[in-house]
């Protein structure tokens, strides 16, 4: 199989039912990792506090 085909092959779906390819997943993971490294996230404690409001 060609590498291009493998990259565009659907490997899963979002919670909204939209297809995700291997390349999409790699990009989403890379972006999430960059956000965490830059401090752009919330802690479990912050989530718990927000729920209590």
* Global pTM value: 0.65
| Tens digits of residue pLDDT in 1-33 | 666 666 679 999 999 999 999 999 999 999 999
Domain boundaries, position 44: 3-52
Q: How far apart are the first and last CA of the chain?
A: 53
Burial 11-36, CB ≥16 within 10 A → b, else e: eeeeeeeeeeeeebeeeeeeeeeeee
pLDDT at 15: 95
Q: Which band of pLDDT confidence, cut at 50, 70 and 90, is reported for residue 53?
A: confident
Q: How many domains does the chain have?
A: 1
């Amino acid at each position: 199989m060609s590498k291009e085909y493998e990259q565009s092959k659907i490997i899963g779906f979002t919670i909204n039912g939209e297809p995700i390819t291997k390349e999409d997943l790699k990009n989403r993971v890379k972006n999430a990792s960059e956000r965490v490294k830059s401090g752009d996230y919330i802690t479990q404690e912050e989530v718990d506090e927000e729920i209590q409001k």
